[in-house]
Structure 1
């Protein structure tokens, strides 16, 4: 399992009263909550979702953190888990600015775009990766983009992962979807059309992934398991075809 990590308190950016009000009271339809780690997550360093992983998954890896929020895990993948480089991506420009301000130097970079759109990948998010982090965001992807959106994302993740690379997913249960959909009319309409169900085992297997690990977790009374999927190596047949 992952080696012990040194404790480090990341720099923080103070919010004005108006910004705190916005972060608290304006529903973020993409899950892009401001001050998410201060308000909704236990302040563990590193985040438990990283420390529970076998240490060799992140060590020396090129990592992309999809739905990175303000960059805490993106940074910790390098600072505490030995990743060689880490790219955080989020749809929210304010959160990306916060991440850049908090972690301005080193091999940790941040990009702002809608990562469900394969054509939007740019800057340091281009190229192949050894690990994709998809933590606590599949619900929002699914509610905003429907079944076709989540399938499109899985296909693109497979295309950007190196052979033998890892996808780390923290899927949310359908009960969470129902609660989120009640807060937004557009999400509620999409919710009614959803047929694919988390944790997306059949869909990921169809993309050529095999699950190598499932870690059961409980967070404030909610089951939040983390699944680790590995991109299978292509096998070459006698005709030299994949």
Structure 2
């Protein structure tokens, strides 16, 4: 069931219906794999922002499996941020340290059963002091930080960038319904200003019929009045708005249930 913000717990979106989609959070997300093939090296050694990170699956994979230098995950729901921190601690606890100075840590080396039996080797951030930086607690992985915030409204310098890559997967619809047309334009403008020159902005497109399904009684009916006020449409309006804010369409892929588009800051 969705929360008051429209997001779902442990949500993977329509990509979960794609053949071969990972049944577990440690198996690579098909969207990230596709993006790596679409723009080779998109995440490697990059500073990434995952907006609407939910329970942290994508953020953790960016760091652990796609070798990002740093990852910041932001979600409006603090309970989901706690889940994300727990997932990061689990994946961090499964990493085998390098056995020589020139070797790399081996991810998913220790089985989940070992962590469940013997406990976490790395404690979740929710169990440690939030005043201390994440990096010292996670010496074997890139810096990963989860923050509970509304990205559209937040002035937190910790999420201001600049980033090499910003991802908005399965989240644009909820931002649009929450903040209406003006808020969506603000969101796009903020994403552009948070990107480094030449950086990439990734959108998983939620079409208008998805908006209409969102207001069903079993989903998020409180957004019904918001939907009636929207003039901008995902299929026709987004490219123009993004271009106005210096983001040019770079690559598009329709191989997954939802179109994923990559824009580049010029």
- TM over 0.5, shorter chain: yes
- 1:1-242 equivalences under 5 Å are 24=1, 27-37=2-12, 41=16, 42-43=21-22, 45-53=27-35, 54-104=39-89, 105=138, 106=141, 107-119=143-155, 121-123=156-158, 125-183=159-217, 184-199=220-235, 200-219=238-257, 224-232=258-266
Once the two structures are superposed, residues 65-89 of structure 1 have per-residue CA deviations (whole angstroms, 9 ceiling, x without a partner) of 0000011100111222221111100
C-alpha RMSD of the superposition: 1.9
1 CA distance for matches of 2:252 and 2:13? 26
Shift of residue 39, structure 1, vs aligned partner: 10
Residues 29-54 of structure 1 show CA distances to partners (whole Å, capped at 9, x for unaligned) of: 42321122499834262111111112
With normalisation by structure 2, the TM-score equals 0.71
CA contact (8 A) 2:53 2:59 kept: yes
**Structure 1: any 5+ residue segments left out of the alignment?**
1-23, 233-242
| CA apart distance, 1:59 | 1.1
TM-score normalized with structure 1 length: 0.78
Q: Distance in 2 between matches of 1:89 and 1:210?
A: 24
Gaps of at least 5 residues in structure 2 are: 90-137
What number of residue pairs does the alignment pair up? 201
C-alpha distance in structure 1 between counterparts of 2:72 and 2:31, whole Å: 17
